[in-house]
Each structure stands twice: as structure tokens, then as C-alpha cells.
């Protein structure tokens, strides 16, 4: 993994775009739907990211959705403002989990350069973006998606 250093103008545009997308997604679901799912029985099926979420939430890691797992995942989703709040362990919830794990020290591995000026870091392995000045975290980390099939993002 090699973080990418972007010019300030590109970093500002990327941060603005990410914040705009997050705001649009957060506002997409009506409040009544969110409050309705909070009180409804938790019946979401097993999701593809069930095991990592169970481990993070301190649940027994069996890879199968139980009512208690569903409630714990739904609480995590609601707490962190994911687009989905039904207890299903989907990719969006998993990416939020990765960002939560990295929240305090996203550059713990030291792959992003520490400079006296603002640096935008992109971790393509963990699919995270953050900005830092020296050791101080200025923005993020936030989940991102780089590249796609047949159009990989170039490092560097």
C-alpha cells in the first residue's frame, strides 16, 4: 500500500465532493423510514460482511445472523449514519467499520508522508481518504471507492 499525495486543489475538490455525496446520501432516506426501522423487529438476513462486524461489535463470530447480531449491527449503522439501518452487514456498513477502526490513527503504518503542510492521503488497500498536517488529523478518515474493473486507479 502506498498512499497518494494530491495537490491542494485536487484535495479540496475531493473533500468537497465526498462531503456533498455523504450529505446527499444521508438526506436521501426520509426520517420516518429511519425511525420505523429502529422500532421494527430485526429480521435482516446474514450479510457478506457478517464476520468482521460480529468481531468488531464483540458478538460471537459465527458468520450467521441472529436477532442480537441484527440489533447490534443496526445500532452501529444508526450511530455512524450509514445509508442502511436495517441490521444487514453490507459493503457500506463494512466500509464504515474500516473508517471507524482507523479514526484515531489512519496513518499508523506510516505510509503517508508527515509534512508541515496539509497532505491528502489515499489508502487504496483499506479504501480510505484522510487529510493530515504533520501528525494532526485535519479531515477523515472517510470510506472511498477507487477505480473499477478494467480501470484501476494508478498509485503515485
pLDDT tens digits along 121-148: 999 888 999 999 998 999 989 998 888 8
User: What is the spatial distance between Cα 24 and Cα 35, in angstroms, rounded to a whole number?
Assistant: 19
Rounded percentage of the chain residues whose pLDDT exceeds 70: 74
Summarize the confidence of residues 9-35 as an average pLDDT. 46
User: What is the spatial distance between Cα 126 and Cα 124, in angstroms, rounded to a whole number?
Assistant: 6
In which band, very low, low, confident or very high, does the pLDDT at 13 lie, cut at 50, 70 and 90?
A: very low
Q: Residue holding cell 423487529?
A: 41
In which band, very low, low, confident or very high, does the pLDDT at 8 lie, cut at 50, 70 and 90?
A: low
pLDDT of residue 28: 42
H or E segment and range at residue 86: none
DSSP conformational letter for 150: T
Strand partners, 122: 129
pLDDT greater than 70 at residue 14: no
**Could you give the 3-state DSSP secondary structure of residue 20?**
helix
CA 138 centroid distance within chain? 17
pLDDT of residue 1: 52
pLDDT of residue 7: 54
Order the strands of the 128-133 sheet from edge to edge: 118-123, 128-133, 136-143
pLDDT of residue 95: 92
In which band, very low, low, confident or very high, does the pLDDT at 116 lie, cut at 50, 70 and 90?
A: very high
Amino acid at each position: 500500500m502506498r498512499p497518494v499525495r494530491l495537490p491542494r486543489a485536487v484535495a479540496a475538490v475531493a473533500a468537497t465532493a465526498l462531503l456533498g455525496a455523504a450529505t446527499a446520501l444521508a438526506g436521501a432516506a426520509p426520517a420516518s423510514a429511519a425511525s420505523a426501522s429502529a422500532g421494527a423487529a430485526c429480521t435482516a438476513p446474514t450479510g457478506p460482511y457478517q464476520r468482521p462486524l460480529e468481531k468488531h461489535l464483540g458478538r460471537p463470530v459465527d458468520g450467521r445472523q441472529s436477532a442480537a447480531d441484527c440489533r447490534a449491527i443496526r445500532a452501529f449503522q444508526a450511530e455512524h449514519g450509514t445509508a442502511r439501518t436495517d441490521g444487514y452487514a453490507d459493503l457500506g456498513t463494512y466500509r464504515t467499520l474500516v473508517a471507524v477502526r482507523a479514526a484515531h490513527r489512519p496513518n499508523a503504518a506510516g505510509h503517508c508522508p508527515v509534512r508541515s503542510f496539509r497532505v491528502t492521503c489515499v489508502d487504496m488497500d483499506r479504501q480510505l481518504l484522510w487529510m493530515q498536517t504533520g501528525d494532526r488529523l485535519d479531515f477523515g478518515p472517510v470510506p472511498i471507492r477507487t477505480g473499477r474493473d478494467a480501470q484501476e486507479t494508478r498509485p503515485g
